[in-house]
Structure 1
Amino acid sequence: MHVFSVQLHLHLPSNSLKGKRGIVKSLLARARNRFNVAAAEVDLQDVPGSAMLGFVTVTESRAAGRRILEQLEEWLVEERPDVELVSADIEER
């Protein structure tokens, strides 16, 4: 069993916490449904223009776990061109 996580630091097109909440909730729900991962906003909750999202998956092989999170990262960039990906850090736990 292999556990992989990724932290994505994002810049959002939002000037208010209410606008940010809508973007973050949508991204988290769609990622959960599409990639079968656990997801949460893990930092920067009080910063309207930025978000730190965390995603975790458990797989039987190392290659599959890393591939799922890399695909999630690519999907986010393609799906929301208005959201800027600042950094992505994939780790095996």
Structure 2
Amino acid sequence: MIIGACTIKLLIYESNSLKEKRHVIKSIIGKIQSRFNVSIAEVDLNDSWKTSVIGFACVTNDTSHANQMVSNVIKFIDKDSRVEIVDYSIEIL
């Protein structure tokens, strides 16, 4: 069993309140859950209205598949014009 895990720190451009931040983050999380087979959630900076940390993980039986899944999710988030990826870390276990 191979686990691909990633945390991504995001800067949210359109956010002027926690309500607006939650709207953007929930939208991104919902799109990723429907498109990719990963578990995803906001894991840090819950009270900051301009930044967020999202974590996601996938389970597979192949290391290259785990790398590909993680890369695809990162590329998907990077294409979203509402946010900017500030930093990310990937772990393959």
Structure-1-length-normalised TM-score: 0.95
Point out where structure 1 has 5 or more consecutive residues left out of the alignment. Answer: none
Q: Which amino acid aligns with 2:50?
A: G
Q: Distance in 2 between matches of 1:34 and 1:76?
A: 12
Report matched runs for 1:66-81 at 5 Å.
66-78=67-79, 80-81=80-81
Point out where structure 2 has 5 or more consecutive residues left out of the alignment. Answer: none
User: Which aligned runs of 4 or more in structure 1 are off by greater than 3 angstroms?
Assistant: none
What's 1:43 paired with?
44
Q: Answer yes or no: is 1:5 the counterpart of 2:5.
A: yes
* Equivalent pairs, count: 92
Q: Distance in 2 between matches of 1:48 and 1:82?
A: 13
Structure-2-length-normalised TM-score: 0.95
Report matched runs for 1:1-93 at 5 Å.
1-13=1-13, 14-78=15-79, 80-93=80-93
TM-align CA RMSD: 0.8
